[in-house]
Amino acid sequence: MGLERWKTVELPIVHDSRGNLTFIESNRHVPFDIKRVYYLYDIPGGAQRGGHAHKTLQQMLIAMSGSFDVILDDGFVRQTLSLNRGYCGIYLEKLIWRELVNFSSGAVCMVLASDFYDESDYYREYDEFIKAVRGTPEALGNKALHE
Amino acid sequence: MGLERWKTVELPIVHDSRGNLTFIESNRHVPFDIKRVYYLYDIPGGAQRGGHAHKTLQQMLIAMSGSFDVILDDGFVRQTLSLNRGYCGIYLEKLIWRELVNFSSGAVCMVLASDFYDESDYYREYDEFIKAVRGTPEALGNKALHE
C-alpha cells in the first residue's frame, strides 16, 4: 500500500507441528511501548464496530481468530484491508479513522496500544475528525473527500 | 486456590451486543510492563506443548478462543487449571513449571510477558527446575515430590 500512516506488517512466526507461535515485542515489532492490550470477542458474525480515531494513540490490530475487515481513512484517502491470519497485523499511526466490519463468526480482534485508555484521546464523530486533519470544511473549497 | 505463586485473575469486561471487550494495562491488570506478547494458534485439537519454567519471567496466560488446560507446578505442589473465557487469565510468577495440554480445535493461547525472549531464562528440563527450587534431590531426604 502506498500510504505511510498505516501499514500491514508480517509478524514473526515460529512454525511447529503442535501449533504456530507469533511474538510481538515492545519497540521491536511495534514502534512503541505496549502499555495496553485489548481484544474484541464473542462477536456476532457480520457485526461491525462504530468508527473512531485517536489524537495521539498508536495501535497494532491483529486477527487472532477468524477474520474481519478494517476500513481506514486519514481524511483524504480511504482503504479497506482484510485481516485473517495470526501473523499479519495492521499498524496505525495517530489520526486515522477506523471502522471494523464484516466479522466472521468466532472472530477475535486483538489490539496493542501505545498508551492507557483515555477517553479524551478519541474522536468519536467523523466530522470532528475531518475538521482536525483537514481544517474547516469551508477552507477546503472543492477538494473532494476520498470519492 | 491457596497458592501465592500463581493465581487466576478475572479481567475487566465491557459487555456490548456487538461483542465483548477485555483490556489489560501494564502494571495495572498485570504487575509488570508488557514487554512481549505472544500467542499460539493453528493448534491441532488435543495437542500439548512441552513444559518449561522461567528463572525470572512473569506471565499472564489467556484463552483468546477455544480452551486448554494449564498444568502448574512450583516444585512442591501441582495443580491443573482450565482456561476457556476471554476475561479469565492465569498470572504466573517466576519459577513455575507449566505445561499446556488438551487444546480444543481452534484454540488460541495468548501470553503477556514481563520481558523480551531470552533462551537463558528457561528451564527446559524438569529435573533442572526441581533442583533450582528444591536444592539437590539428595538434600530433600524423604520429602515427597507433589504426590
> Backbone phi, then psi, for B135, in 5-degree steps?
80, -170
Closest Cα in chain B to A86: B41
Instruction: Dump pLDDT digits (tens) for B45-84.
Output: 888 887 999 999 999 999 999 999 999 999 999 999 999 9
* Residue B52: active-site member: yes
Please indicate if any CB of chain B lies within 8 Å of the CB of A34: yes
Q: Report the C-alpha gap between B34 and B27 in whole angstroms.
A: 8
- Using the predicted structure, report yes or no on whether residue B3 has a pLDDT greater than 60: no
Q: How far is B52 from chain A (nearest CA, A)?
A: 15
pTM, to two decimals = 0.90
Q: Are strands B36-41 and B108-113 parallel, antiparallel or unpaired?
A: antiparallel
**What pLDDT, on the 0 to 100 scale, is given for residue B2?**
43
A3, A7, A48, A66, B129 from A82: Cα distances, Å: 16, 12, 13, 11, 44
**What pLDDT, on the 0 to 100 scale, is given for residue A139?**
52
And the C-alpha cell for B109? 493461547
Instruction: Dump pLDDT digits (tens) for A4-49.
Output: 789 999 999 999 888 999 999 999 999 999 999 999 999 998 888 8
Mutate which of B22, B42, B49 to disrupt the A interface (most A C-beta within 10 Å)?
Answer: B42
Instruction: Dump pLDDT digits (tens) for A76-85.
Output: 999 999 999 9
Residues from chain B that touch A104, judged by Cβ atoms under 8 A, are: none
Class of domain A2-140: mainly beta
Chains A and B form CB pairs within 8 A to the count of 121
Q: Which residues contact A68 (CB under 8 A, 6 or more apart)?
A: A82, A83, A84, A100, A101, A102, A103, A104, A107, A109
Please indicate if any CB of chain A lies within 8 Å of the CB of B108: yes
Tell me the domain boundaries of chain B. 2-140
- Using the predicted structure, report yes or no on whether residue B29 has a pLDDT greater than 90: yes
**What pLDDT, on the 0 to 100 scale, is given for residue A142?**
44
